[in-house]
A and B are shown apart, each in its own frame.
Chain A
Amino acid sequence: MTERAYNFAYLDEQTKRMIRRAILKGLAIPGYQVPFASREMPMPYGWGTGGVQVSAAVLTPDDTLKVIDQGADDTTNAVSIRSFFQRTAGVATTTATRDATVIQTRHRIPEEPLREGQILVYQVPIPEPLRFLEPRESETRKMHSLEDYGLMHVKLYEDIARHGHIATSYAYPVKVEGRYVMDPSPIPKFDNPKLGNMAAIQLFGAGREQRIYALPPYTQVVSLDFDDHPFEPSKADHPCGMCGGTDSYLDELIVDDAGGRMFVCSDTDYCEGRQAAGHKGKDAA
């Protein structure tokens, strides 16, 4: 059911046009943060308003939308955003990664490789990869324009000197096409290798911070590292308890008072697909 009082996908066409321009600029300059006049949305800042505005601007009535949070379709905020678009756009929705044309995500990239024609929309809290090294926007913009990323390399180096490893496990910074250092949103670094050379369009929306950035298909994306300390994606060293998969990102659950644990795929669609195909983990019923 579409709520007639609002335009298709909630935003008015002028606003969508403004957002589409920002998206196009972002696609033309991969990894560059484009300022845009983010609107107040009927959900709070920090809850995906950037992603929602980007999705609203790219959705057409023929699209099929999938919304995930932490890899799962059934987390409360994913449910809430999906129902928002059901109400305001009346588009078809799905939980199947392969059936979706637009996927809005928070904190994960689906396990199943995306294909051409799909759009992956990320919700981004802090788009500026340099923000925790330099709090001032006026400074960080200058650093990007001068390609001055020394501070970031020093930070990573100090991590290694202190801990023996780069102590960043999510929102791990990447360099796009050898130019802009970009925040991939708080995805676990396990997902970083999927960012590069992806067939789908990747759009990043940060509502509160009023920034949009993008990766066109087949863009080169490199996780920052050093020759003697190469980037390493990591995950829990277990198979999935439900589907037995060994190559997917896992959530750790505490299952009893004694602190017993089990590990399951964070991507619910991937896990259910494997189970339906007959794969079974040790904890499956």
Chain B
Amino acid sequence: MYVAVKGGERAIENAHAWLAEERRGNPDIVELSIAQIREQLALAVNRVMAEGSLYDPDLAALAIKQARGDLIEAIFLIRAYRTTLPRFGASRPVDTGAMACDRRISATFKDLPGGQILGPTFDYTHRLLDFKLAAEGAVPQAATRDAGTGPVPHVADFLNREGLIEDAPPVDTPPPDLTREPLEFPADRALRLQALARADEGFTLGLAYSTQRGYARNHAFVGELRIGSVPVEMDIPELGFAIEIGEITLTECETVNQFKGSKTEPPQFTRGYGLVFGQTERKAISMALVDRAMRWQELGEDDQGAPAQDIEFVLAHADNIQATGFLEHIKLPHYVDFQSELELVRKLRREAGASQLQEAAE
């Protein structure tokens, strides 16, 4: 006997309670603190801040804890929180040339003013499991050196002096705001960069990789990759000048790309640009490659039909919160639509069967 299923409400409450229990895991094991996540899972925290578009390591750590380590879920929590925050205004553009660099490398020059600083990188670690980490213990102190006091100029500026790289003059028009205006096409570069800065790391990586493998290939040199902190300044109307309101860590990547010239542009190097919250260099490099690929039209390059060149395709699918929501919504009941499909398929099969019978008889 059929009884209408009631109690969705109870089921949801129970599911939430079970989820909370699973999140905590075995209560005999010490609970993770927000500070532990912030300090020891810092790269996860950085990714959540970057794709969540909110610079707050403690909130990102809380989101990671609440999401049981599912970073896209954590990013979602941060985004949903972010939209409820009031807006006081916009900061001044940060000056990455004045960055206090923890890391700064150039793949295009062996040495350069400001020097090459490896910083805390996985790059030259051998990927061998370090079983010592399974046991708790103190970490030996890393060697220190006084930070250089000289400026760390951008590599692209050196090339620019010779006119070898395309000029990137400052633009005065305020950038559009993706979070306050609906995304509309064509999207200008500021909007594209904004979308890429919060785009899914995996998606951006895959697209960037595809350009390296020949889908809109545009050989990229890492002109420069720098990670460090920059002051954030804001104009305060009552004061009439800008004051520093805090400091954030950024990863900036500028690529230098081959360019043989086109109908409209002389042969010169061109640029791709990536700027992301926190230490997130895989994302920043990927972003720079995809940015460069999407610039084909303004540089008079051919449309190769490559995914990374397709601005509408990239921007419409790069946001993991949109993507995961829509992907996962197919878990919701669809039996009304399925029922109408059932009716249709049955009808088509009936008619196909009838016409086959008729053909056999003829």
The answer to whether A and B assemble together is: yes
Chain B's nearest CB lies how many Å from the CB of A270? 12
Query: Are the CB atoms of A189 and B340 closer together than 8 Å?
Result: yes
Residue from the set B186, B328, B332 with the largest chain A CB neighbour count within 10 Å:
B332
Indicate whether A125 sits within 8 Å of B329 (C-beta atoms), given known contacts A12-B84, A169-B344, A208-B322: yes
- Count, chain B residues at interface, CB 8 A: 50
Q: How far is A78 from B72 in the complex, measured between Cα atoms in Å? A: 24
The answer to whether the Cβ of A164 comes within 8 Å of any Cβ in the partner chain is: yes
Contacts of B1 in A (CB 8 A): 283, 285
Chain B's nearest CB lies how many Å from the CB of A205? 13
Contacts of B82 in A (CB 8 A): 40
Query: Are the CB atoms of A44 and B76 closer together than 8 Å?
Result: yes
The answer to whether the Cβ of B188 comes within 8 Å of any Cβ in the partner chain is: no
The answer to whether the Cβ of B4 comes within 8 Å of any Cβ in the partner chain is: yes
Residue from the set A6, A74, A169, A188 with the largest chain B CB neighbour count within 10 Å:
A169
Query: Are the CB atoms of A252 and B326 closer together than 8 Å?
Result: no
Chain B's nearest CB lies how many Å from the CB of A173? 14
- B7, B181, B326: the one contacting A46 at CB < 8 Å is B326
Closest Cβ neighbor of B86 among chain A residues: A12
Contacts of A236 in B (CB 8 A): 339, 343
Residue from the set B183, B339, B344 with the largest chain A CB neighbour count within 10 Å:
B339
Chain A's nearest CB lies how many Å from the CB of B321? 6
Chain B proximity mask over A105-123: 1 for CB below 8 Å, otherwise 0: 0111000000000000000
Chain B's nearest CB lies how many Å from the CB of A141? 9
- A37, A79, A252, A266: the one contacting B342 at CB < 8 Å is A252
Q: Which residues of chain A from 232 to 263 have any CB-CB distance to chain B below 8 Å in the complex?
A: 234-236, 241-242, 249-253, 255, 262
Interface of B is mostly: helix
Query: Are the CB atoms of A44 and B2 closer together than 8 Å?
Result: no
Query: Are the CB atoms of B348 and A167 closer together than 8 Å?
Result: yes
Q: Which residues of chain A from 103 to 148 have any CB-CB distance to chain B below 8 Å in the complex?
A: 106-108, 125, 136-138
Q: Which residues of chain A from 61 to 103 have any CB-CB distance to chain B below 8 Å in the complex?
A: 69-71, 74-80, 83
Chain B's nearest CB lies how many Å from the CB of A265? 10
Query: Are the CB atoms of A37 and B336 closer together than 8 Å?
Result: no
Closest Cβ neighbor of A236 among chain B residues: B343
Q: Which of B8-16, B209-217, B234-242, B273-281 contacts A (4 or more CB under 8 A)?
A: B8-16
Indicate whether A42 sits within 8 Å of B312 (C-beta atoms), given known contacts A76-B11, A167-B344: no
Closest Cβ neighbor of A126 among chain B residues: B326
Query: Are the CB atoms of B341 and A74 closer together than 8 Å?
Result: no
Indicate whether A234 sits within 8 Å of B336 (C-beta atoms), given known contacts A76-B8, A242-B2: no
Query: Are the CB atoms of A46 and B325 closer together than 8 Å?
Result: yes
Interface of A is mostly: loop
Indicate whether A78 sits within 8 Å of B182 (C-beta atoms), given known contacts A44-B325, A46-B325, A137-B316: no
Query: Are the CB atoms of B185 and A165 closer together than 8 Å?
Result: no
Q: How far is A250 from B341 in the complex, measured between Cα atoms in Å? A: 13
Contacts of B9 in A (CB 8 A): 74, 79, 83
Contacts of A108 in B (CB 8 A): 336
Chain A's nearest CB lies how many Å from the CB of B197? 16
The answer to whether the Cβ of B337 comes within 8 Å of any Cβ in the partner chain is: yes
Query: Are the CB atoms of B335 and A45 closer together than 8 Å?
Result: no
The answer to whether the Cβ of A28 comes within 8 Å of any Cβ in the partner chain is: no
Contacts of B245 in A (CB 8 A): none
Query: Are the CB atoms of A251 and B329 closer together than 8 Å?
Result: no
Q: How far is A12 from B90 in the complex, measured between Cα atoms in Å? A: 19
Q: How far is A74 from B6 in the complex, measured between Cα atoms in Å? A: 6
Chain A's nearest CB lies how many Å from the CB of B256? 31
Query: Are the CB atoms of B340 and A190 closer together than 8 Å?
Result: yes
Contacts of A231 in B (CB 8 A): none
Contacts of A249 in B (CB 8 A): 336, 339
Query: Are the CB atoms of B83 and A234 closer together than 8 Å?
Result: no
The answer to whether the Cβ of B118 comes within 8 Å of any Cβ in the partner chain is: no
The answer to whether the Cβ of B184 comes within 8 Å of any Cβ in the partner chain is: yes
Query: Are the CB atoms of B344 and A138 closer together than 8 Å?
Result: no
Closest Cβ neighbor of B6 among chain A residues: A74
Query: Are the CB atoms of B336 and A268 closer together than 8 Å?
Result: no
The answer to whether the Cβ of A41 comes within 8 Å of any Cβ in the partner chain is: yes
The answer to whether the Cβ of A196 comes within 8 Å of any Cβ in the partner chain is: no
The answer to whether the Cβ of A31 comes within 8 Å of any Cβ in the partner chain is: no
Chain A's nearest CB lies how many Å from the CB of B177? 9
Closest Cβ neighbor of B1 among chain A residues: A285
Task: Report which B residues bind A (CB closer than 8 A).
Answer: 1-2, 4-9, 11-12, 76, 79-80, 82-84, 86, 179-186, 312, 316, 321-322, 324-329, 332-337, 339-344, 347-348, 351
Task: Report which A residues bind B (CB closer than 8 A).
Answer: 6, 12, 35-42, 44-47, 49, 69-71, 74-80, 83, 106-108, 125, 136-138, 163-165, 167, 169-171, 186-190, 208, 210-211, 234-236, 241-242, 249-253, 255, 262, 264, 266, 268, 283, 285
Report 6 cross-chain contacts, Cβ distance below 8 Å, ordered by A residue. A12-B84, A37-B182, A44-B329, A45-B322, A189-B340, A208-B322
Additional pairs, 17, CB under 8 Å, beyond known A40-B83, A165-B347, A249-B336:
A35-B184, A40-B321, A45-B321, A70-B333, A70-B335, A76-B12, A107-B337, A125-B329, A170-B340, A170-B341, A186-B334, A188-B336, A188-B339, A188-B340, A252-B335, A253-B2, A283-B2
For the complex of A and B, the 6 pairs showing the least CB-CB separation, nearest first, are A45-B325, A46-B329, A44-B325, A169-B340, A46-B326, A35-B182
